[in-house]
Amino acid sequence: MADTIANILSIAGSDPSGGAGIQADLKTFAARGTYGMAVLTALTAQNTQGVSGLHLVPPAFVAAQIADVFADVRVGAVKIGMIASGEIAEAVANALSPHRSVPVVLDPVMIAKGGASLLAGDAVEALTRRLLPLSALLTPNLPEAAALLGEAEAGDRAAMESQAKRLLALGPKAVLLKGGHLPGNESPDVLAMPGGLRWFEGVRVLTRNTHGTGCTLSSAVAAELGKGQSLPDAVAAAKSFVAGAVRGSGALAVGAGHGPLHHFHALWA
């Protein structure tokens, strides 16, 4: 089966404007040469300027979607995005527990680009207790890391390293702490693994088209893991892909707010 295309599953919320959530995940899976599948946890009413509404899928139905996919399809990797509630976090954890050999990339989506909360307070505890131990990789940004740890946001590389190590102690096999919120022209990420730390450097691109950046990065890592890449190589490939998608975003004209990335920048003339 090694010569077949990898099947990657996203468990996340929907963005009707197409820039983030399930829509960004499926575009990313396709752009990275994998077959994408999607389990919906929530519907949002949103566009590039913000989120105006949220409708949660019943937890039992989220679990049923996951169970049906695994009952029929060979899943190479799983990406978890928007969970929204503690009950959904529990349902996802229960549904994935029988499949621990499949790598899980957990993107702890908490706040939308426009500032709307996308994770209930009780969900942070459930996500930490149930989903972190199932994860091959946790991919928080600086505000999300601070919320998971219950402390102030990291403001420099030393604080990022400290927080990444403490997040690793919560149970995931590895943590990629994203430094896009740091001031300055750099956008560095630090990967914490049991064997140590590794930095991935990046240059900040001056653009408003950053909607769905976190969703896209975590999905790209999941796609690469599903194709058999090592974790450091998967992170490097994903970060390069996202950088290209951000640089190419000017070719799109979507909305008046934070525009989406160009997921197919390398494929479309």
**Per-block average pLDDT, block size 10, for the chain (269 residues)?**
87 97 98 98 95 95 98 98 94 98 94 62 86 97 91 92 97 94 82 96 87 96 98 97 95 95 92
Residues 6+ apart with CB under 8 A from 248: 261, 262, 265
Q: Is position 261 within any domain? A: no
Contact 93, 200 (CB under 8 A): no
Residue 228 included in any domain: yes
**pLDDT value, residue 152:** 93
- The DSSP result for the chain, as a single string, is -TTSPPEEEEEEEE-TTSSSHHHHHHHHHHHTT-EEEEEEEEEEEEETTEEEEEEEPPHHHHHHHHHHHHHHS---EEEE----SHHHHHHHHHHHGGGTTS-EEE----B-TTS-B-S-HHHHHHIIIIIGGG-SEE--BHHHHHHHHTSPPP-SHHHHHHHHHHHHTTS-S-EEEE-TTSSSSB--EEEEETTEEEEE--BPP--S--BTHHHHHHHHHHHHHHTT--HHHHHHHHHHHHHHHHHGGGG----SSSPBP-TTTTT--
pLDDT of residue 118: 63
Is 259 contained in some domain? no
Match 């997921």 to its residue by tokens.
Answer: 263
Lateral strand order in the sheet of 77-80: 50-56, 35-47, 7-14, 77-80, 104-106, 137-138, 175-178, 189-193, 196-200
Task: Identify whether 267 is part of a domain.
Answer: no
Question: What Rg, from alpha-carbon coordinates, does the chain have?
Answer: 17
Q: What CATH number is attached to the domain comprising 226?
A: 3.40.1190.20
CA 217 – CA 213 distance, rounded (Å): 6
Q: Are strands 77-80 and 104-106 parallel, antiparallel or unpaired?
A: parallel
Q: Is residue 244 part of a domain?
A: yes
User: Is residue 262 one of the residues assigned to a domain?
Assistant: no
To the nearest 10°, report the CA torsion of 158, 159, 165, 171: -160
* Residue 196 counted as domain residue: yes
Answer whether residue 61 is part of any domain. Answer: yes
> pTM here?
0.95
What pairing do the DSSP bridges indicate for beta strands 196-200 and 189-193? antiparallel
Instruction: Identify the domain containing residue 145 by its residue range.
Output: 7-251
- Residue 152 CA to residue 185 CA, distance in Å, equals 22
The token pair that represents 227 in the structure block: 């194709």
Catalytic residues: 178, 210, 212-215
Number of domains in the chain: 1
